[in-house]
Structure 1
Amino acid sequence: MDWTILLFAVQITLARIADIYLRYYAFREMMTPEAKRTLLKRLSVFSIFFTAFSAALFTCTEMTVSSYKAVLLFGWIPYQYFLVQAVPDQKLPHVFLVSMSFLWNFIIHSISCIILALYFRDASTPVVLQTESFIYLSLFLLFLPISRHFFNSLLPAFAHFTSRNVRIYIAVLPFLMTVGYIVLISDNVLWHSWEERIARLLLPAAFVFTYHYIMSTAKQVYERKRLTHEKMLLKQELLYLEEGRLLAADNREQLQKHLDGLLDTYSQLRQLLHTGDIKEAQAYIAQQEEKLSAAAILPYTDYAIVNAAISIYLHRAKAKGINIIQKINLPNGMNTDENDLSVLVANLLENALLASANGQEPRQITLILQHNGSQCVLELANTFHGELQLGEDGLPKSGHSGHGIGMLSLKNFLTKYNGYADFSCENGWVRITIYWEDKAQC
């Protein structure tokens, strides 16, 4: 085998590794160290095979334009297969990244062809092809800082599109662009006109940088919405704190009144006990206990804001005649932010209160908030006899009366703490169960 053919096969293999590197670089944060090591082993072993196969193919075809383009157009598939195995369940991101990497490669190949047309017009076909692959690898290394920055921002920008239909459109559009471009270059022609060379450079370049601008704009829009939402949550949190403060002040006032009447209470109890009226004494004691706890902020947890949120809404529910069942067990020193949890609990309790208050008897709200190791569970159920409109994510649509408002805070909470929610509505009950890992946020 001619050493120049072997060198050419090695260059082609390095070009395929360069292609897959950019896609791997975009996915690297999703991969475990073990998955990275496995991917590296598979790519290394396959690259040896791919080099031998390419060398044999070019030996048989004597390095023709057709064999060169065939290897470029189909050689990426096995490499992509290994990457898909390393990062499964990411179909749309894979389609999106493959398309964008193809367009990026087309730009570099187009620049290589322009350089060839300027300086290697009279060279033989094998020399031209080998020189083109060498120029491609050189340009890839030269543009690597730009390409790394570009591909590093693709998936975070893609994740901002939460609608599945929009995500499909964003992923498929560059793929269709890629297919159309492949049709244009799938020929046996070595030299094209200058108009074609310039067009093949400008077309993918314009698309890539326009798409990058669109993704950047989407990111800015998302950030503005996020900041607006955080301001809204902060304002809501301040309202809860203020209401909690007012309840605490009212508690102190009520306590002072009870202290002022404590001597009278003892006197009445002493008189009742002296006359032997035990039932009347017990009823009087129960009456005093109800007064003390009517508006109290109860110590459900070690977190004051969470206690205030729970106490406020359970007190409102009790005032409306709604039966309350709660089971709360949270340890001290949780990693979950107290403010995030209080806003989530308050929003969900408000929804449950709205839904139950207008419902039929019997009316009931059940709140379970448990911590088991690193796993947290929040389950909220309430009676509800209306109809709910669900969104694509299986949760009630925002803005719907009862269990609509607050879904945005739930989605943000699930995103931040890598949690998930299970929602059901059956037999007159609405139930939402939220699971999340109680881990420190980076």
Structure 2
Amino acid sequence: MTTFGVTWIYVLILQPFALLQILPFRRFLTAAQKKRLVICWCLLIVLEAHLVTVIVSMAIFPSHQIAYWLLGYLIWVPQFLLAFSFTRRFWAGHIFIAAFRILFSSIIYTFTRAILLMAFPDKLLPSLYFEQILLYGILSLLIFPILLRFFTDTFRHFEMASTRRYWRIITLLPVLLAIESLYLSLLNSQEQVFALLLPRFMLLIVIILLMASIRSGQSEVYRELQVFEKEHELQRQLVSTARYVKMSEESRHRMASIYEKRRHHIDHLLALVSQRDREGALACIEALGAQFSRTKLPQYCKNTLINAALTVYFARAKELAIPVTAAIDLPEELSFSGDLSIVLSNLVENALLASQKQPPAARHIAVMTMCQGDVINVLVKNRFDAPVEFDEEGLPVTHVKGHGIGMKSLSRFCDKYKASVFCQQKDGWFMTYLQVPLLAEASDRSR
């Protein structure tokens, strides 16, 4: 029973470092995947505790301390494989994290042995194995939040801000260091604890410098990524504006054509009146009215920027034979009209792309906005029956290269204007609901 209790403590103490394999990638997992992962993880813990208890009790090794030490090199493998199976596309990241785990485990292990030998000089290390397990767990818990934050930040934009070539090269550094550390540990760490203190300390400095250099390099990459996304948004604004100008020019030409033929229309109408052809005159007037209507651009809302953006994308929906329902109620003047027009453009464009994947009879887009008190409510929804993957922030995730910028733009908009967003897939509809406080007006002016 004592061995069973110590083993449970031992297995649980190893879990923080094991969780480093999956927690940095949790935002890429669906709710169903997270649930399955938790169940499998708990089953693994129970299975490992029982197997280690059996192996240690069989007295195969000279002492319990050596048994736990050697089993520690193998017990991390099941959780590694489990995390790998759920996020295989991050294989380079998993190897990268595993190498860091080995490095920090080796350093902590050496430090704990040295501390115990100095604290209890009259005792042999094998008799202090339980104290070493506890001390190892304490140091692991202290360093766990630092490593978790580092890895989470490192892989936050993994798919967009990194390349396979980069990770193939950078992953080699901690892997080679880990191999060297394992070699020293297996070779003579049991006999030369104090001799390894200085090399381990130097290794710790090297790891810290390596982590700092990686974060510094990635910060530059992320800044470049933000610049790229901003340029992408500006380019789309320019394209949207150019299309709106073109539509306005076409409208002007249609009006000019009607104006040039005004004498013909008037003569024709007078002839119908003189002939007392009431039905013909009404038909002529209706035809003229229809022609005048075609010269006008749709007016979806009073806000000029947002109306221009919606006009362009709704015209695109009409070209694709996608029905659109629009009920736009927005103030004529908004200090964040430009940013909101970008967000709406992205949402409607995403709806257009998703609608094209639906059968023609199952296509529909609805855009509705409403001002209630000091809050602007925005709802954009479209028919979509395929499953949608969501990240930990509740936003849809895409693994298609070059896509997903629109959702990042939405996330930044929410951060900037203290807005809230909720995405949901229900009854064959994908919906994005956005709430923007009008107090954002004042905060935007203060910037």
Q: TM-score over 0.5 for the alignment?
A: yes
Tell me by how many angstroms 1:182 deviates: 1.5
Residue 15 of structure 2: aligned partner: 17
| Aligned-partner residue type, residue 39 of structure 2 | T
- What is the CA deviation profile of residues 126-169 of structure 1, one whole-angstrom value per residue up to 9, with x for unaligned ones? 12433322211121233344334334323215444342333444
Structure-2 separation of matches of 1:75 and 1:105: 13
Residue 328 of structure 1: aligned partner: 322
1:13-412 paired onto structure 2 within 5 Å: 13-29=11-27, 30=29, 32=31, 34-57=35-58, 59-63=59-63, 66-85=66-85, 87=87, 90-156=90-156, 158-187=158-187, 189-192=189-192, 194-234=194-234, 236-238=236-238, 240-241=240-241, 244=244, 247-248=247-248, 251=251, 255=255, 258=258, 262=262, 264-268=264-268, 270-271=270-271, 293=294, 297=297, 304-309=307-312, 326-332=320-326, 339=342, 342=345, 371=365, 410=403, 412=405
Structure-1 separation of matches of 2:342 and 2:130: 62
Structure-2 separation of matches of 1:65 and 1:75: 15
Comparing both chains, which one has the higher relative contact order based on Cα–Cα distances under 8 Å and sequence gaps of 6 or more?
2
- 1:311–1:38 CA distance, 2 compared to 1 (3 A): closer
> 1:66, 1:188 within 8 Å by CA — same for their partners in 2?
no
Structure-1 separation of matches of 2:299 and 2:164: 42
| Aligned-partner residue type, residue 179 of structure 2 | V
| Aligned-partner residue type, residue 96 of structure 1 | F
**SS of residue matched to 2:98:** helix
| Aligned-partner residue type, residue 237 of structure 2 | E
- What is the CA deviation profile of residues 192-246 of structure 1, one whole-angstrom value per residue up to 9, with x for unaligned ones? 2645322123325522542343134313432343134314523651563376368
Instruction: Give the superposed CA RMSD.
Output: 5.1
| Aligned-partner residue type, residue 141 of structure 2 | L
- What is the CA deviation profile of residues 33-92 of structure 1, one whole-angstrom value per residue up to 9, with x for unaligned ones? 5225413531442243144235325x3424266534321111111233343455565433
**Amino-acid identity (%):** 16
Residue 439 of structure 1: aligned partner: 432
**SS of residue matched to 2:322:** strand
Structure-2 separation of matches of 1:300 and 1:369: 21
- 1:205–1:74 CA distance, 2 compared to 1 (3 A): farther
**SS of residue matched to 1:327:** coil
Is the deviation greater in 69-78 or in 117-126? 117-126
- What is the CA deviation profile of residues 19-41 of structure 1, one whole-angstrom value per residue up to 9, with x for unaligned ones? 22333432443252522541353
TM-score by length of 2: 0.61
> 1:301, 1:307 within 8 Å by CA — same for their partners in 2?
no
> 1:95, 1:171 within 8 Å by CA — same for their partners in 2?
yes
TM-score by length of 1: 0.62
> 1:237, 1:339 within 8 Å by CA — same for their partners in 2?
yes
Tell me by how many angstroms 1:267 deviates: 1.3
Structure-2 separation of matches of 1:202 and 1:139: 18
**SS of residue matched to 1:328:** coil
Structure-1 separation of matches of 2:320 and 2:159: 37
**Unaligned segments of structure 1, at least 5 residues:** 276-281, 315-323, 350-367, 378-392, 396-407, 419-435
Structure-2 separation of matches of 1:339 and 1:122: 71
> 2:21, 2:97 within 8 Å by CA — same for their partners in 1?
yes
| Aligned-partner residue type, residue 18 of structure 1 | P
Structure-2 separation of matches of 1:89 and 1:228: 24
- 1:177–1:89 CA distance, 2 compared to 1 (3 A): same
**SS of residue matched to 2:123:** coil
